Copies of this chain bind each other. A is one copy, B any other.
Amino acid sequence: MYEFTAPFQNPSGSPIRELFKYLGEPGMISFAGGYPASDLFDVDGLKQAAARAYHDPNLCLQYGPTDGLPLLKHQLIQLMARRNVSCEPNEMLVTTGSQQGLDLLLRVLVSPGDVVVTEQPAYPATLQALRLQQAKIVTVPVDAHGIDVARLATLLASGTFARPKLLYTVPTFANPTGATITRERRIALLKLAVQYQFLIVEDDPYGDLRFSGDAVPSILSLASEVDGARDWVVHFASLSKIVAPGLRVGWTIAPTEITRRCVIAKQTVDLCSAPWTQAIAAEYLADGALERHLPRITAMYGRKCEALCNALHAQVGDALEFHRPEGGMFVWARLSESGNGIDASALLQRAIGNKVMFVPGKAFFADNVDAASLRLSFAAPGIADIEEGVTRLKRAYGEVTAGGA
């Protein structure tokens, strides 16, 4: 039997994917997944895009350039322009979902022991990627307005850790907190990046999914307002949440030398992401289908979010504290102090018995776990299921408190 040594000792799978085994149970209502709603996919629009893409079968079937099909990059550059970001082809790399962008970036930038700052709570796959690269993770807490930049400034000034290589954030409708970093904090963050010379890694899969409030520009687009800041921003984006994850089309925008190194790493990793789905994505974007379809997704997510928040407020308002997000897919909640110290894992056990699921917050912490927190996604279930799911959650909560009394 093969004897395993470092660097991947005793790995455990994603705590979220671990929950998937319960998804198959009949009648289960899940607030656990980070999946977009299948019933909102633009099935016909994508079918037509696929037919157009196959007018050039060789483009779909042959190897493609490692950095992405030029016609897709052209469309993505136009999409970024609509988001007030200008970028050149040699600053952009198409990846297998934006998640691959992060993995490539960490591999070309981060050595074992290097300091990386993340917001906390944070996306678990990012924490796992940092562990795989053996980074030293430093966390900065998130409040309702995103990462606490004043706290970060204090930490950086204190010199309690080596200069970080990079800071990872989902600044808009964060996973898991749903929070959006304010414009002021974004500017402050950019100034810190220039001052301390670390990269801001902005992961932005949800930014288009705004259903209320005013848009906040991406950190990348704000970089033009801070001298020298553009050199210190890497931006990840994706079609997974706004078109379909099955395309596996994400992209990275980064300074050219970083992009060049990521392209070389990708040559080694997988040569290129699937050209066939890249070609379909390009046709879909060229047709303007995203702009036509996106309002339908955001409107429905807005209604689902409202349904979830209203039901939580009405049914378990005494037990759970939460902020209403202005977009994205997630509500982050805490079991309130009045709850006798019930933790979210105990609640989940009872919840599963009542055929409802969520993700306990501990999955999102690198340290100082808040065991009372939990993440609820409203994206996938229908509105009736959302309301019924909260009723079940209330029942589960009642069982835990009764059991604990």
Q: What residues make up the interface of A, taking CB atoms closer than 8 Å to B?
A: 1-8, 11-14, 17, 35-36, 38, 41, 43, 46-47, 50, 54, 57-64, 66, 95-97, 99-100, 103, 107-109, 111, 114, 125, 128-129, 132, 197, 199, 231-232, 240, 244-248, 255, 257-258, 261, 263-265, 267-277, 280
Contacts and interface: CB of A to CB of B under 8 A. Distances in A.
A268 B231 contact: no
A361 B261 CA distance: 24
A274 B261 contact: no
Nearest to A64: B246
A125 B268 contact: yes
Contacts of A2: 109, 197, 199, 231-232, 255, 257-258
Given A12-B264, A41-B61, A261-B4, A125 B271 contact: yes
A248 B64 CA distance: 10
A18 to B, nearest CB: 11
B13 A246 contact: no
B261 A107 contact: no
Contacts of A111: 5-7
A58 B35 contact: no
Given A199-B2, A246-B62, A269 B100 contact: yes
Given A2-B255, A50-B50, A60-B246, 5 more contacts: A2-B258, A4-B108, A5-B114, A63-B245, A99-B271
Q: For the complex formed by this chain, how many copies does it contain in all? A: 2
Contact of A125 (B17, B128, B267, B273): B267
A300 to B, nearest CB: 16
Contacts of A128: 267-268
Given A54-B50, A261-B11, A248 B267 contact: no
8 contacts: A3-B197, A4-B108, A17-B66, A36-B62, A59-B246, A62-B245, A125-B268, A245-B271
A267 B57 contact: no
- 10 residue pairs, one from A and one from B, having the closest CB atoms: A61-B244, A61-B246, A96-B270, A248-B274, A274-B274, A100-B270, A246-B275, A8-B108, A63-B245, A43-B57
A239 to B, nearest CB: 11
Contact of A38 (B6, B35, B61, B96): B61
A174 B3 CA distance: 29
Contacts of A268: 99, 103, 125, 128-129, 132
A275 to B, nearest CB: 4
A57 B41 contact: yes
